[in-house]
Chain A
Amino acid sequence: MKKLLEIKNLSAGYDGNIVLDDVNLEVHSGDFIGVIGPNGGGKTTLIKTILGLIKPISGEMILHISKTNIGYLPQVNQIDKRFPISVIDVVRSGKSDSALFSSFRRNTAEKEKAESLLAEMGISEIRNKAIGELSGGQMQRVFLCRALMNNPELLVLDEPSTYVDNNFEGELYLKLKELNGQMAILLISHDVGTISFFVKTIACVNRNLHHHPSNIITEEQLASYNCPLQIIVHGNIPHTVLRLHDEHEHHEHHH
């Protein structure tokens, strides 16, 4: 297994406020890590450090692959939905390291790649729509296409299931499982229950980071990791699908 990145004794934050303290993590090819934790616990800070958007206060973040080999899907609410840009251009921006001087090149391969990704996601017909005209699920598909433009070795997703319906959510996770055959995935979610069915390992981030070696995690372990449990709401019925300590069956889903 190829080591893609390692984080050693990393502290990071904003304006001198430490959000992540002494964090260690290694990501290898084939990994599918679900990153969970409370809001403000440092999930997004972790991702931004991995992407090189913020510099560590102390410690190290060592990337063994090129920065452009990381595919990134940001939180949807970070995107200006009224920006005048078409779907196809959003997808093509995934290969933006080739954007410089692109006005005078044919870019045939790039265009074909974008088209094939749109087709793969089943959204070819919206290629010329403005992003502001899309539904939440369509928008996530478009941003997933963008993240895949470089055939990344590592795919990083920040809360991809917000603003999408349950139907698409399931579809998305199946797609990710399929993609995991070709790339490592780091998936941030507040939805502990759902992702635990798809990810291989779980990382709890709450100022510290505990990388739990399986996708089954108990409430007791969460508590010992100082990672407060999240209640998941499907419809109006709050429930959690986490296993209790001695239980071997999944809790039943109530929809």
Chain B
Amino acid sequence: MNTNTMNTIIELFSYDFFVNAFLASLLAAISCGIVGTYIVSRRIVFISGGITHASFGGIGMGYYLGINPLVGAGIFSILSGMGIQLFSSKGKVREDSSIAIWWSLGMAIGIIFVYLTPGYAPNLMSYLFGSILTVSTGELWLMLALAVIIILFFTFFYRTILYISFDEDFAKTSNLPVNLFNYLLMVLISLTIVLNIRVVGIILILSLLTIPQATANVLTREFGRMMFYSVGFAFLASFIGLLISYFADIPSGATIIFTQVVLFGIVKLIRAFNIKH
């Protein structure tokens, strides 16, 4: 990297929008890195995908009712998370079918309401594909609050979460409040998804919850360490992706994801090379 590029990067930090984007990628890395490790370890990636897409229903409704679409998305994602659990535990619907129902129902409701909203739906693309450069200060405060809550929750209850995730039946036999934690964690997943929609968008958010974790998993098979590494990889790739998208003038969300995958490939290759030698 030559001095010129370096200077340009330093200069970028004098712009509010760039500082905000930088902070957003840091906060997104913290919440997605930690919650994503739980999601990947417990193999509930598909549930998370369902919740993410169902939240689009709330965004459409937000447009129609004239409220903040993220508030609608929050309500929809929490409801769909509970709905998936309820359908499969009480309604005897197979879990993957239950996820697909909520996934597509949310999308359908969103499309109908966006269509019914008179006039043009501003920023619709930014909810679908993310727009980290337009994250507002208010949204940053919410992301900060979420990051703090997640750090506290996973620190306080580290072993409880670990044991329940690893062997739910065994945790039940030792009187751990399994159902309570399942629901609390489902709410945290929903909030993480909703507050990070602005960073990479509905279509791409699943990647922040899975790719850094896959990269971390190449290096460690320990739950706690995997969380730390995931946060690190998520942040590294988000920041590099942010810079590339800025200089190449291409969409930020997609560039961030692309960088995540490239980083995963590099780590995997280095690891494979090291094992051989």
Contact = CB atoms under 8 A, between A and B. Distances in A.
A97 B160 CA distance: 9
B222 interface: yes
B123 interface: no
Interface string A122-149: 0000000010110000000000001000
B220 A84 contact: yes
A68 B170 contact: no
A86 B159 contact: no
B166 A78 contact: no
Interface in B160-174: 160, 162-163, 165-167, 169-174
Contacts of B115: none
6 contacts: A51-B169, A53-B172, A93-B166, A97-B175, A130-B222, A133-B221
Interface in A77-105: 78-80, 83-86, 89-90, 92-97, 99-104
Interface string B146-188: 0000000001111110110111011111111100000000000
Interface size bracket, B side = 20 to 34
A180 B150 CA distance: 44
B180 to A, nearest CB: 11
B222 A86 contact: yes
Interface string A37-77: 00000000000100111000000000000011010101000
A178 interface: no
Given A72-B170, A93-B170, A103-B156, A84 B176 contact: no
A52 B170 CA distance: 11
Interface of B: 37, 41, 43, 92, 155-160, 162-163, 165-167, 169-177, 217, 220-223, 226
A72 B173 contact: yes
A76 to B, nearest CB: 11
A246 interface: no
A249 interface: no
A68 B92 contact: no
Nearest to A83: B166
Contacts of A78: 167, 169
Nearest to B155: A103
A86 B41 CA distance: 13
Nearest to B165: A83
Nearest to A82: B221
A97 B174 contact: yes
A85 B222 contact: yes
Of residues A48, A52, A97, A100, which shows the largest number of chain B Cβ atoms within 10 Å of its Cβ? A100
A247 interface: no
A15 interface: yes
**Nearest 3 Cβ contacts at the A-B interface:** A130-B221, A99-B159, A96-B174
Contacts of A52: 172-173
A65 B84 CA distance: 36
Nearest to A48: B169
Contacts of B158: 102-103
A169 B6 CA distance: 64
A85 to B, nearest CB: 5
A85 B159 CA distance: 11
B169 A74 contact: yes
Interface string A13-52: 0010000000000000000000000000000000010011
Given A96-B159, A96-B163, A84 B174 contact: no
A15 B158 CA distance: 34
Contacts of B41: 83-84
Nearest to B167: A79
Contacts of A150: 174
Contacts of A48: 169
A84 B155 CA distance: 17
Nearest to B40: A84
Nearest to A146: B170
Nearest to B177: A100
Given A84-B220, A84-B221, A101-B157, 5 more contacts: A93-B167, A96-B176, A103-B156, A104-B156, A132-B221
A51 B173 contact: yes
Contact of A80 (B37, B166, B170, B226): B166
A86 B167 CA distance: 13
Contacts of B159: 92-93, 96, 99, 102-103
